[in-house]
Structure 1
Amino acid sequence: MKVINLVAGGPSDCLPILSRRSNETWIAVDRGLEHLLQFKIEPDYCLGDFDSVSSSLKETILTRKFKQFPSEKDETDLDLALSYALNENPDIINIYGATGGRLDHEIVNLQLLLKGVGCYTTVFLIDKKNKITIKNPGSYTISKSKFSYISFLSFFEKVEGLTLEGFKYPLDNGQLKCGSSLCLSNELISNKGTFSFSSGILIVVESYD
């Protein structure tokens, strides 16, 4: 399985513990290099405009493989880095360091998950307490993990035909409207559960307190 990890420069206290596993690629996005060095992970690439990094960190970046973006551009560094990673056609892209800072950045970082919809790649947004992805209509299996709760939200106007099996609060062919809290804080009652839906875009949030 090919995995690419993007590490952006969000607050360090929102990061989970990061560790390098074999056959994974690590990309530092702008100030994300600080986080990777904190966890003693050597990045495979550094991407960003580097306009907000300290002079000492920039000197460190320039000793690695890097691609520098213009400081005046239409996309954020993370947006461009995600497009770069998607072009590599990995199985999974994990995004770290993208929550807990400015709210406008956090909202758009959630919206960036749409880039993975309809692609071969599954994109996750991960922090210390949450793991988020977005799904197209279909049927999916989800396994019990360290995350206690699983929530489902509609990204756009509504999700239709939503069925949850193996959950504490099951649902059969339900409708989930944008802004509804109907499917928050559900739990698996066995090691695995399934969810399926017929239309819409579904946000899946695994989390714990």
Structure 2
Amino acid sequence: MTTSTFTILLGGDLAITDRLRAELAGSRFIAADSGMKHAEELGVTPELWVGDFDSTDAALTARWPDVQRQPYPSAKNETDGEIATAEAISRGAERLIFAGAIGGERSDHLLQHFVHAMSLAERGLDILLTSGEEEAVPLLPGKKVLDLPKDSLFSIIGFSALEGLDITGARYPLKQFGLPFGSSRTVSNVAEGPVEFSLFAGRAIIIARPRDFSGA
């Protein structure tokens, strides 16, 4: 991993696992509002802390007096996470990891994270969303390989109809499959090790559960 990898600390759930630490190793960090709460557990110091700080309490602020803060008004046109993303890209980000992007109380934020991730992937950025327990990766036309533990669960959720979908390295492989929009056919597959995905047309999100072996 190079310093062109940035991790955006978001306010959702984050389980600190060995896999998560390995994924974040060597990354630069930017915190979005209450996402700063994860920095202490991770043992990292973000280079920037952005947001309207409406979900940051005084105690959290007091613990990080030396981190540069960039405040924004509550009445703004972007989420704190989107502002943090723009800052990372302006600093040379080529890979973005959104830690704390999955889970939490706001399902609207979760869905926005998914579509935002898709739009960033369409711009050529390498994207990972994670809660530590779950990971999500955009799947666009082309190939993608995920290094998943054997017998762990993963699903593909289509954000459109999918054409020419291949899945290899899974219990339920597919070859040149057409997935109708809204179909559940690609929910709850099981990795046999690293899984390769290939797609001819469409948009989807791969959601993996690297510590869930309930399908084994």
Give the TM-score band, short-chain normalised: 0.7 to 0.9
Q: Provide the residue aligned with 1:31 in structure 2.
A: 34
Moved more, 14-23 or 135-144: 14-23
Q: Which residue of 2 aligns with 1:6?
A: 8
C-alpha spacing 1:33/1:144, structure 2 compared with 1 (3 Å):
closer
Q: State the TM-score, normalizing by the size of structure 2.
A: 0.83
Structure 1 distance, partners of 2:151, 2:39, is: 24
Query: What is the correspondence of 1:1-209 to structure 2 with a 5 Å cutoff?
Result: 1=2, 2-11=4-13, 14-17=14-17, 19=21, 23-61=26-64, 63-98=66-101, 99-145=103-149, 148-156=152-160, 158-189=161-192, 191-207=193-209, 208-209=211-212
**Residue 126 of structure 1: how far off its partner (Å):** 0.1
Q: Secondary structure at the match of 2:182?
A: coil
Q: What is the distance in 2 between the residues matched to 1:146 and 1:67?
A: 43
Q: Find the aligned partners of 1:188 and 1:38 in 2 and give their Cα distance.
A: 29
Deviation at 1:25, TM superposition (A): 0.4
> Equivalent residue of 2:37, what SS?
helix
Provide the secondary structure at the position in 2 that maps to 1:31: helix
Which ranges of structure 2 fall in alignment gaps of 5 or more residues? Answer: none
SS of aligned partner of 2:166: strand
- Number of aligned residue pairs: give it: 205
- 1:92-112, Cα deviation, whole Å (9 max, x unpaired): 211112222222222212222
Distance (Å, rounded) in 1 between the aligned partners of 2:32 and 2:208: 24
User: In 1, distance between residues paired with 2:100 and 2:139?
Assistant: 22
* SS of 1:64 mapped into structure 2: coil
SS of the aligned residue for 2:146 comes to strand
Question: Contact (CA 8 Å) 2:32, 2:81: kept in 1 or not?
Answer: yes
2: CA distance, partners of 1:22 / 1:133: 18
The normalised TM-score by structure 1 is 0.86
Aligned sequence identity (%): 26
Identify which range, 50-59 or 165-174, moves more after superposition: 50-59
Counterpart AA for 1:48: G
Task: Give 5+ residue unaligned stretches, structure 1.
Answer: none
2:167 aligned counterpart, secondary structure: strand
Q: Comparing 32-41 with 119-128, which one deviates more in the overlay?
A: 32-41
Question: What is the CA-CA distance between 1:30 and the residue it aligns to?
Answer: 0.5
Structure 1 residues 27 and 179, CA gap change in structure 2 (3 angstroms)? same
CA RMSD of aligned residues (A): 2.3
Determine if contact 1:133/1:204 at 8 Å carries over to the other structure. yes
Return the alpha-carbon distance in structure 2 between the equivalents of residues 40 and 140 of structure 1: 30
Letter in 2 for 1:103: S
1:33-59 Cα distance to aligned partner (Å, 9 max, x none)? 122123332222111111332233334
Is residue 153–residue 178 contact of structure 1 (8 Å, CA) maintained in 2?
no
SS of 2:189 mapped into structure 1: coil
Q: Secondary structure at the match of 1:52?
A: coil
Report SS of the residue matched to 1:187: strand
Deviations 1:175-203 (A, max 9, x none): 112321101121233x4332211111121
User: Which segments of structure 1 move beyond 4 Å, counting only runs of 4 or more?
Assistant: 18-22, 59-62
